[in-house]
Amino acid sequence: MENQEAFGFTLLVNKPLEWTSFDVVNKLRYAAKHITGRKKIKVGHAGTLDPLASGLMIICVGKHTKSIESYMGLDKQYTGTFKLGATTPSYDLETEVDAAYDLPANDPEELQSVARQFVGTIEQVPPAFSAKKIDGKKAYELARKGKEVNMKSAQIRIERFDLDCTNFPEIAFTLDCSKGTYVRSLAHDFGKAVGSGAHLTRLKRTKIGDMLLENAYGIDEAREAIQEAWNCFSNKH
């Protein structure tokens, strides 16, 4: 087909738990190559999610990969849980608990008051177990080898940080934040702020800009969506 290079498609995908963002891209790239009959086709995402997180990803196919940068700066919304009373080196469940702490009082109003202290523009230090580059290497590669990693703080913005303490000491939350926010670090810092420790136990991205998780495709549905987009493109060309 003469105009194959003009083919492009953007779709919302619900990343499954324990899949890497690369797993999602790789799966859909393979599908796109098979559907279009092309040996090479660009497929990319507009913002990674950790393997232990699920939820919304923006996937761009073909010429739409040129639009990835326009999505990267959009605000995000997350829901999830963190557990008070213990920390882990990765700030989530990737690593084992390394320290235990006394729990703060189970006072929802006081805990929400502490959460409000994080709302606004703040400085945040990313976790050592992250993909941030340190001297050309990803921080997590050094951290997993037991090497000391000095992370630099970055400015982020928190619009909303609402807590539900029904299952204390596990705290459910809804978070609206800017790009570059590490929710694991927020959980860790919240634990410090209440005189205890905390680590992230569940995370789901529910919104990117105006795009909602409820409108996202599952992996198999995403493949079907690419097929439909290709059929529509082929009929026009």
Angle between the 219-236 and 21-36 helix axes, to the nearest 10 degrees?
30
Token reading at 195 = 């005189």
Token reading at 208 = 């990117």
Q: Is 135 left (phi over 0), alpha (psi -120 to 50) or beta?
A: left
C-alpha 201/C-alpha 97 separation (Å) is 12
DSSP 101: -
The answer to whether the bond into 89 is cis (omega within 30° of 0) is no
- Residues serving a catalytic function are 50
Neighbours of 3 (CB within 10 A): 10
